[in-house]
Amino acid sequence: MNSRDQTALLSLPVISISAEIFKSFFEFSKVMAIRNNLCMVIVVFLIIRHFQEVVRFNIMLLLLAVYLLICLIAQGADYDAYQSWVMAFESKLMLPLAFVLLNKSSDIKRLTITTLITGVLFTVFISLFLILGIGENQYGGTDGFTAGAFKFSRIYTGSFFLISIPIIAFWNRKKAIINFLPLIGLVTALILILSTRRTAVVLFLSGGVIFLFWFIGKLPKVILWASVATLLLMALFPLYSGILMKQLEKRQHVFVEQNGFDLESETRYDETLAAWTERFKGREISTAFFGNHLFNSQGNYDEGIHKDRPLHLDINIILHGAGIVGLILFFLFYSELILTYFKNRITPISVKEKITEATFVSVLFCMLMLVFSGGLTAVTHNMMASLIAGACLRQITSSGSTRPAEKDFLFKPEKNISRTWLYR
């Protein structure tokens, strides 16, 4: 039965990105709602089936999800706010499910196949959209970077795909895949550059740098490959220079309003200052602790100065909408995740263990970066990150996955009493 549950869990990123591709071709406004609700039903069903293990792994995430849902009900939220809640937690709740269900080293290979399929779909179809000019530019107009429905934080899917390429390559040693990954990786990196989304580029560069801490001896080879990739991008510059120049031109002006207010350099700082000031210095104690307008911040913060611009940073969304209580639960979720890693990690010995741990830390670091950048309700990349982080954390906190003498500590605690932290 676990095999079916694994298949259901691993199919979700593919379902998610397929819906985004479908929406890029067809004007069917409800396709994303169908995607969200379908995936959430599957996630909730799996959590109910494995509730005991999920709670023992990270109860704070479940408490956060339930608390935010209660906030929405108490605040009389509209349909869109509930959909935002679904989008935020259908992916986040996959992390404990990945930890529980992907409990063997062989399951990592299935995960890498899912990640590869998702990444290839992302890269191939965005390339097609750019060539055919499908979709509108996220910064206005129909020229430049036209990537269908892949706008704003949805582009981060490419960043997490690039971070996962080493573990994909290690678990899939077929010559065709090994030869294919550098090409698809180069095209994905080019897409992120053309999008001019700085966070997207910083994510995969940061993930790569962190990864090198486990393989510092490979630095000369990495520099060589990076140099080759740079030379290739420079040689191909005439092919994409038009898109890049148009995009850079749009980026010079898009964040500057007619009144001279520089959104690029000011707004995220301003929204943070406004959200925190309203909650910590506000007159209403109940609003400070429990928030208001959860997932409905447009015009409801900073005295409506920013009009229809919603809060972007995850921490601001949580604090403004769910108050201090919500923010505490939010940070406790990540704190519990980090403590699980440090308290139960097993020092990596084999290359397999090193790659798994390096991938987990890289992905977790990028997830934490997005907490202070934005992307809480972007589904596909959060699904990828949750699956990779949960599965890799299981491997590096349980010697059973790579050292046969101590298998399956989660489901057979009597086999390894010293490692059964989940059952204490």
State the total domains in the chain: 1
Locus of tokens 């996959």: 94
Residue 298 has what pLDDT? 81
**pLDDT reported for residue 143:** 63
pLDDT at 118: 96
Chain CA centroid to CA 289, Å: 28
> Per-block average pLDDT, block size 10, for the chain (424 residues)?
88 94 81 92 95 92 95 92 94 95 88 95 91 73 70 86 93 86 93 87 90 84 87 88 79 50 57 81 81 84 73 89 93 93 83 90 94 88 95 79 41 37 38
Q: Domain residues for 311?
A: 2-423
Closest CA to 149 of 32, 245, 35, 33: 32
Q: Which letter, b or e, does each residue of 314-331 get, where b requires 16 or more Cβ atoms within 10 Å of its Cβ?
A: bbbbbbbbbbebbbbbbe
Residue 403: its pLDDT value, please?
Answer: 44
Backbone angle region of 27, left / alpha / beta, with phi > 0 → left and psi within -120 to 50 → alpha: beta
Query: How confident is the model at residue 213, as a pLDDT?
Result: 87
| Residue 189 CA to its chain's centroid (Å) | 17
pTM of the model: 0.87
Residue 308 and residue 299 in contact, taking contact as beta carbons nearer than 8 Å = yes
